[in-house]
Structure 1
Amino acid sequence: MCAALLRNSIKCINLRLNTTVLTKRNICTSALRCKWRNASSADVERSLLKGDNLPANYQLIYRAPLEKYVAWAKNVSTLTVSLITLVAGYNLATTSMNFSSALKKIDVGVLASTEADFYFFAVGFVLINMAIRIFVFKYPLRIYKSGEKYVAVYGSQWPVGTVKHYFQRGQIEEFKNVLNPWSHIIFKLGHRSSMLIIDYFKTPSEFHELFKEKET
């Protein structure tokens, strides 16, 4: 009898947990949709269209989240790389182009306990900055369409500005790679692989319409 009561109690607890999870998911989904509706108002869309320097016949169909955070990460990366390059260049120039002498002149104790650790730190720093740059390259901030023509707007690798990538309807396919943990959101838009978060399309049909073959 005790065992039966215990099983029933566990079932009730699981039911309450599952209900809570479903409720939270519904709230999150509703919040995303509300955010998109607010962000896609006519005034905001016209402002974005003007800022991206596109003709008025283009319509906004996708707007990615975290645009400010992506720009912030890119600019911090640019600033730190620039400062380190300037410091390294100055030290190399004042030590007769001898890297070992320049490294000894720098107080590595602030960053690492030994000189070897400093090299590992430098390699990790380079890899992190490369990851940031690759993410910026693959992360479209906005997608517009005009008939069967599409244009994706990406952040520039420079501190300011954007880069545009044009493609046609039907020029999209899934980019599958077992080594990529984000392969489920990577698509090839023309010849450029990009990360698309489906929840941030204006409507689900706008996403599915990308896959339709171009009308002849």
Structure 2
Amino acid sequence: MILQHLGHSLRTKAWPILCLSKRPSSIILPAIQRTLSTSSVLCRKAVIKREEYFLKKDNIPAGFSIIYRAPMENYLTTCNIVTSFSFLAIGGICAFTYLKDFHHIVVPFEIEYATLTANETDLLYFLGFFFLINAVIRVMVNRYPLRIYRNDKQYIAVFEGQIPLVTKQFSFQQGEVTPVPPGGVLPWQESRYKINDKKVLLLEDYFRTPSELNAMMMTEKLDSE
């Protein structure tokens, strides 16, 4: 009896699986296609909603669409904030020490766990290196477009502003973008371009389509041909 009961239970549980396996592909494939179609529609809606958000955020005129969105926007914003406050802090300290007569400062500056500087020369080296690092970061931030919008042959690039949490716009036309030979100390040497006289960093992988960068560099003469 026990063996009969177990056999009946197994047949009962296995029957739905066998039925599904025998179901013709003409029934299963449409269901899979409907699922993929629904996912595609949801993805398109999400992309459109995201684009509308950036158009409104950057206050872009009607008719433009986003073709480029760079990564690490939050890191760029953080760097902009840190360097801005660093310049203000160091500038305030330098102004204060100048007014109080720098040569009357007693060195070394003793802190709780270590000695900050050994003499005035070390302090000047430290401040010079600090300003150099901050200047390099600021240059990279100013050359790094966050987003680029296009309306036919007109383009608008959005950059981090000189004031933290404020963006600035730079307008240009098709054919005004040219590659720049590698050089300097900034990263992404192969991604250096020039828009008129402004040097920028454009990462090819973050354009909407691979052809957008080529179209942006195409001159009117080549376009007419």
TM-score range, shorter chain: 0.7 to 0.9
State the aligned residue count.
175
Cα distance between partner residues in 2 of 1:68 and 1:157 = 16
**Deviation of the 1:74 alpha carbon:** 1.3
What value does the CA root-mean-square deviation take over the aligned residues?
Answer: 2.3
Contact 2:107 2:120 in 1 (8 A): no
What SS does the corresponding residue of 2:146 show, helix, strand or coil?
A: strand
The one-character-per-residue Cα deviations of 1:177-212 (angstroms, maximum 9, x if unpaired) are 444564311001222110011000011011221122
Give the 5 Å matches for 1:94-173. Answer: 95=100, 98-101=101-104, 103-104=105-106, 107=109, 110-173=115-178
Structure 1 window deviating more from structure 2 (103-112 vs 174-183): it is 103-112
Tell me the equivalent position of 1:92: 98
The one-character-per-residue Cα deviations of 1:70-96 (angstroms, maximum 9, x if unpaired) are 110110111122122223323333x2x
Contact 2:145 2:157 in 1 (8 A): yes
The percent of aligned pairs where both chains have the same amino acid is 30
Cα distance between partner residues in 2 of 1:108 and 1:53 = 51
Tell me the equivalent position of 1:26: none
Cα distance between partner residues in 2 of 1:118 and 1:179 = 27
Tell me the equivalent position of 1:204: 210
**Deviation of the 1:128 alpha carbon:** 0.7
Contact 2:108 2:118 in 1 (8 A): no
- Of structures 1 and 2, the one scoring higher in RCO (CA 8 A, sep 6+) is 1
**Deviation of the 1:46 alpha carbon:** 0.9
In the alignment, structure 2 segments of 5+ residues that lack a partner are 1-42
Contact 1:168 1:190 in 2 (8 A): no
**Deviation of the 1:105 alpha carbon:** 7.2
Tell me the equivalent position of 1:184: 190
Q: Which has the larger radius of gyration?
A: 2
Give the 5 Å matches for 1:78-89. Answer: 78-89=84-95
Name the TM-score, length of structure 1 as normaliser: 0.73
Contact 1:152 1:166 in 2 (8 A): yes
Cα distance between partner residues in 2 of 1:207 and 1:177 = 18
Name the TM-score, length of structure 2 as normaliser: 0.70
Cα distance between partner residues in 1 of 2:152 and 2:69 = 18
Tell me the equivalent position of 1:64: 70
Distance 1:85 1:180, change over 3 A: closer
What SS does the corresponding residue of 2:106 show, helix, strand or coil?
A: helix
What SS does the corresponding residue of 1:57 show, helix, strand or coil?
A: coil
What SS does the corresponding residue of 2:170 show, helix, strand or coil?
A: strand
